[in-house]
A and B are shown apart, each in its own frame.
Chain A
């Protein structure tokens, strides 16, 4: 089985977000980068499926050279080789077009990625890629097994989950608890250094949405503290002052 796992290179969930260059660029000073947490679940499940059934895992990132440490980490976790499309991922349509171009060449049985990136939170790349390739796509997938040429999986729906079966190839947007995150071991880290990482240039895509500027939310006012022995006054404040009851 050939699996393609698409990963994003994103600021750590605890990163403080600020902007530079007239609010047109993320201020990267002091920001730690990670593999997108949802992508990390997708990668972990791919490694487990490969352990069960054999096959290969290619990891794909659309990003600039600063993604390389995260790509090496994915190789250390268990991917066999990697492709980086050398471009800043500016828009979902752009990113999906790049992924679809790579996927078309590779003939993958399964294309896994996170349900959304944690920088732009769009949650649409898997759907775009599926349609561009003319194959089904599902998200958010929280359980996945492969039996022959059929995927058996569960998708989170409002208030519960839905169980599905569909023939491969498929594109799936993943989330917990599809697998436990994997931490690379020393052997993995050593072998990752020599695994192939191919850098390719992006295919051209017309402008679909271009950044005007970034803004930060207005600062939150001070929290109004209510003494515990007067907790009941909270309800009247929510009614008369906050007007939310």
Chain B
């Protein structure tokens, strides 16, 4: 049995989690078994049943009041209980901070193999071989996963998730909770509201030092808004506090994998490219024709971002 953890965001299953369900269903099909999804937190049954249209036949829903806050330790205990309950041999998690943390603790509880950053479906013809991203996207490693239970963290776009016509039954899942998982006290939260998540976004518009200062971001924000895109930035920009730290994309920031990445006034240092090289299509806009980003981009424009960005925004609006 394949068990897939789906992450909820305000009661909705995240897009990367629906991809994970599609991935888990494909693994189940290849190994002649079924796929069950596990959701933790508040969501209504109709939303959870969506996992059925991506190939799960059952959804376990753990919704104890104590689980309302994202708590990786408690979530790991629930996941491990579900693995045991359902006799799961393969566990699929989308790649995220929460999933890495809970997957790791669940792996140690179960003595399971854990492989994170998986980019393709496994080859089950001889063993259980998966390909994962390493060196921050500069290379791949194919590994033979040996554990009786195999936990895989899959990267965005590891599979094209296509909605089908299947359906899933939703069952309440109420494992015993451990007090030890609740020793930490959450004392506060700072969260930008209404922002598109960088790891979920299909389009990202990102700015670098070429934007020349925190007050010049409007043309970039306008293009992002016209495209329905999330916004990111380079490391120097977040170091200078022009943009908040959670927008920093790169080797030591967030690694993204959108369908379209538009880099505005970012030179393309190797550390930045490491965070974006999983993007499907990259556009670089820079006034320096020698900017290294043009070597990594699919489309390039040499020019002044303050001239180009408003014109692109207008072109997007005109095309609608």
Give residues in A with beta carbon < 8 Å to B.
11, 13-14, 17, 19, 37-38, 91-93, 96, 118-128, 130-132, 134, 136-140, 142, 152, 156-167, 175-177, 206-217, 220-221, 223-228, 231-232, 234-239, 242, 244-245
What is the 8 Å Cβ interface bit string for chain B, positions 122-160, against chain A (1 contact, 0 not)? 000000010101111111111111110000010000000
Cα–Cα, bound, A14→B301 (Å): 25
Contact B113 A17 (CB under 8 A): no
Question: How many contacts between A and B, using CB within 8 angstroms?
Answer: 274
Q: Find B298's partner among A139, A215, A223, A228 (CB 8 Å cutoff).
A: A223
**Closest residue of A by beta carbon distance from B192:** A159
**Closest residue of A by beta carbon distance from B317:** A235
Contact B139 A157 (CB under 8 A): no
Q: A164-B186, A209-B143 are in contact. Are A226 and B299 (CB under 8 A)?
A: yes
Q: A38-B252, A124-B114, A236-B319 are in contact. Are A207 and B183 (CB under 8 A)?
A: no
**Closest residue of A by beta carbon distance from B140:** A215
Task: Give chain B's interface secondary structure class.
Answer: mixed
Shortest Cβ gap from B229 to chain A (Å)? 10
Contact B315 A121 (CB under 8 A): no
Contact A160 B105 (CB under 8 A): no
Cα–Cα, bound, A174→B146 (Å): 29
Q: A156-B245, A238-B299 are in contact. Are A165 and B184 (CB under 8 A)?
A: yes
Task: Give chain A's interface secondary structure class.
Answer: mixed
Contact B114 A157 (CB under 8 A): no
Give residues in B with beta carbon < 8 Å to A.
70, 72-73, 76, 96-97, 100-105, 107-109, 113-117, 129, 131, 133-147, 153, 180, 183-192, 195, 197-199, 202-203, 227, 245-246, 251-252, 255, 259-260, 270-271, 274, 277, 280-281, 283-284, 294-304, 307-308, 311-312, 314-316, 319
Contact B270 A13 (CB under 8 A): yes
Contact B101 A238 (CB under 8 A): no
Shortest Cβ gap from B117 to chain A (Å)? 6
Contact A127 B102 (CB under 8 A): yes
